[in-house]
Chain A
Amino acid sequence: MFDFQGYGPRLLEGAWLTAELAVLSLIAALVIGLMVASAKSSRSMTLKSVATVYTTLIRGVPDLVMMMLLFYGGQIGMNMATDGLNAWLGTDMFINVNAFAAGVVTLGVIYGAYMSETFRGAFLAVDAGQMEAARAYGMSPWLAFRRVRFPLMMRHALPGINNNWLVLLKSTALVSIIGLSDMVYVADQATKATHQPFLFMLPVGLGYLAITAVSELVVTGLKRRFDVGFSQAT
């Protein structure tokens, strides 16, 4: 029973792929989110409008459509680029868009948009005097961000980040449409072959629960870390 009719190893591989994809996409989303939030609060009108177009577009289009656009569109774009280079250099290159990388990029780009709104709200929640003091003591913009703005902002951003992360994790199931064998895809294949949905779908559900349980622990730790100076108030 516990060899899952021979699908056990593939299910485990699928679970690993899901976890890997989710964590890498999260990192991409956080980096993109921070950059876009900074762009939105910058003084440059160009940066501001590019960032606004990005978040409006991404949040208005279904994840599934976005993923297909980026995956197939990415391949077409890559082909056009290599064709151009080949014509110019007289070579014969072909670059295949890797499905895993495409998944990470797509999820990162989509959830980066949601993260950016979370970060923007959190930036605004930090008292302006804190950054003013950082500037007044000669901190460079990067130092002030690292030492003052980021740690103060994270307190406000964590609940939103956690929320986005949980949605992102579950969106990883979408990557099966671009040919990746995540755990949902494997379980679906197995169910179709064996007609035993509970045997495969229940463990998959538990797999997601296991990942979220671990992430709750991490979030609790981070919350404690960024509450320093606030929770001790007398």
Chain B
Amino acid sequence: MADSEIPLVVRDLHKSFKDVSVLNGLSLEAHEGDVITLIGASGSGKSTFLRCMNLLEVPDAGDIIVHGEPVAFKQHNKTREPASWKQVERIRSRLAMVFQGFNLWAHMSLIGNVIEAPIHVLGVPRRQARERGMALLERVGLADRADYFPAQLSGGQQQRGAIARALAVDPEVLLFDEPTSALDPELVGDVLAVMRELADEGRTMVVVTHEMDFARDVSSQVIYLHEGRIEEAGAPADVLKKPNSPRLQQFLAPRF
């Protein structure tokens, strides 16, 4: 399949912070409707890998190709930089991210958060953005909270709101960075339920998570990272049920 038909292709990413090498040649292809989960111990590089995909971190080497459009890089004082931040901004607006800490804009109401990028980044007319935004809040069960501010919402509500904000830009790929890790256990279920629905309707997603049930039930591909390398990857039935690598076996072993 030609790259241009694949929503997101990442090839051979390398990244170091100071002298510590965090990513050592990571690749991934997210086809239409794929749900790829990235698992691994903390420090394995999974979050950095995800953050490289929308250039929140700039990889030292490797390619990022969104629907056939490769991100252009240049060398500047020995560090690598995107050649055009305009291009990066355009690409970011097509890949929506959901953060561990929600990061809803605290000074905007929930609906304000949802319509912010459509109006100011994508240029959607306000009325149209609002209509669509309300429909999305309805979807995630927050229509009655549209005018609340983030500080007035529970963590689970904030994260569902953040998912509505992500959907509002009609992204090619949804990036989730440990979306349930900051939530109280009883709030995790609601967020995962929304994510399952998105997977079912064929959204392309890349998810960094510790939720093994979600990885097993929902993903089309599981990637296990260890020290910035792909240690094992494949269908969840293979990777999670019959892990080859001893490290993954240990990682998956029940902790109690």
B97 touches A234 (CB 8 A): no
A-B contact count (CB 8 A): 84
The yes or no answer to A147 lying at the interface (CB within 8 A) is yes
User: Interface code A190-234, partner B: CB below 8 Å = 1, 0 otherwise?
Assistant: 000000000000000000000000000000000000101110111
The yes or no answer to B93 lying at the interface (CB within 8 A) is yes
The yes or no answer to B210 lying at the interface (CB within 8 A) is no
A148 touches B105 (CB 8 A): yes
The yes or no answer to A27 lying at the interface (CB within 8 A) is no
The yes or no answer to B214 lying at the interface (CB within 8 A) is no
Chain A: number of interface residues, binned into ranges: 20 to 34
Complex interface residues of chain A between 106 and 142 (CB less than 8 A to chain B): 127, 129-130, 132-141
Main secondary structure of the interface of A (DSSP, over half): helix
- Cα A87 to Cα B99 in complex, Å, equals 64
Known contacts: A129-B101, A226-B107, A229-B108. The answer to whether A135 contacts B151 by CB under 8 A is no
The yes or no answer to B127 lying at the interface (CB within 8 A) is no
A8 surroundings in chain B (CB, below 8 A): none
B56 touches A136 (CB 8 A): yes
Q: Which residue of B101, B107, B151, B169 is within 8 Å of A137 (Cβ)?
A: B169
- Cα A147 to Cα B107 in complex, Å, equals 10
B34 surroundings in chain A (CB, below 8 A): none
A139 touches B121 (CB 8 A): yes
A140 surroundings in chain B (CB, below 8 A): 85-86, 89
Q: Which residues of chain B have a CB within 8 Å of any CB of chain A?
A: 54, 56, 85-86, 89-94, 96-97, 99, 101-109, 116-117, 120-121, 149-152, 165, 169
Q: Which residues of chain A have a CB within 8 Å of any CB of chain B?
A: 127, 129-130, 132-141, 143, 147-148, 151-152, 226, 228-230, 232-234
